[in-house]
Amino acid sequence: MIAEQIRIDAIERESLDLMRRTSTWMAQQAKAVILFKTPFWRERGLSGRVASRIGPLVEVHDHSPEHAASGALFGFVGWPPMDRRRDPSALRTAIVEQLVRCFGSEAAQPQDLIIQDWATEPLICSRLDLEEPPEHPEVGPEVLRQGHLGNRLWFAASETAEISPGLIEGALVSGEATANRLLDTR
């Protein structure tokens, strides 16, 4: 029993140290969802897809239901975390102004504009995440994909993915792979 406890403690220390050193690529990002009465850009032959070096949204995607009357755009905010925190209302104004430039005057009056700033979430974004420039992660070590505490604890996140780490696809792949590993241990 003591030997087993020492082995588990060693895995826990190694895992905790590894987790502390593993940055979360998207942790310092902010995401915005902008809601409209209709997906008016479709009526004008626009896709709702924007890639921008000016911003503040560096990517925009049509997030509207295919056959629904409501419209939604989703985007990643390109302003650094400190700039977002300094003046949140300026960020909101700049987002609407950008959408007007891209989609026309109909974008000036969104029904809602929701910003989720992950950099303000201490359980998601660590000091390491904020101090280092974001880099697309490499596939992490196998210990991240192993069961811990007698297979009672498993990590299933994009950072543990063997395919597309750091991306939504990686999170989905990791979740499925972790579920299969868990089922295999039962």
Which pTM does this prediction carry? Answer: 0.76
Higher pLDDT, 180 or 17: 180
User: What digits encode the pLDDT tens for the residues 103-118?
Assistant: 999 999 999 999 999 9
Q: What average pLDDT does the segment 164-177 reach? A: 91
Q: Of residues 78 and 22, which shows the higher confidence score? A: 78
Confidence of residue 153 (pLDDT cuts 50, 70, 90): confident
51 and 85 housed in the same domain? yes
> Does residue 128 sit within a domain?
no
In this structure, are 143 and 101 located in the same domain?
A: no
In a domain, 131, yes or no: no
CB atoms within 10 A of CB 148: 16
Based on the fold, state whether residues 6 and 42 are members of the same structural domain. Answer: no
The verdict on 111 and 167 lying in the same domain is: no
Q: Which tens digit of pLDDT belongs to each residue from 51-93?
A: 999 999 999 999 999 887 899 999 999 999 999 999 999 999 9
Q: Is residue 127 part of a domain?
A: no
What residues make up the domain containing 161? 2-22+137-184
Last residue within a domain, chosen from 89, 120, 151:
120
Q: What is the pLDDT of residue 9?
A: 60
Judge if 101 and 161 occupy the same domain.
no
DSSP 65-113: -TT-S-EEEEEEE-S-HHHHHH-HHHHHHHHHHHHHHHH-GGGGS-SEE
Structural domain count, the chain: 2
Q: Quick check: is 130 in a domain?
A: no
What average pLDDT is seen over the chain? 87
- Specify if 11 maps to a domain: yes
What are the CA-CA distances from residue 123 to residues 20, 83, 128, 141, 165 (Å)?
12, 21, 12, 22, 19
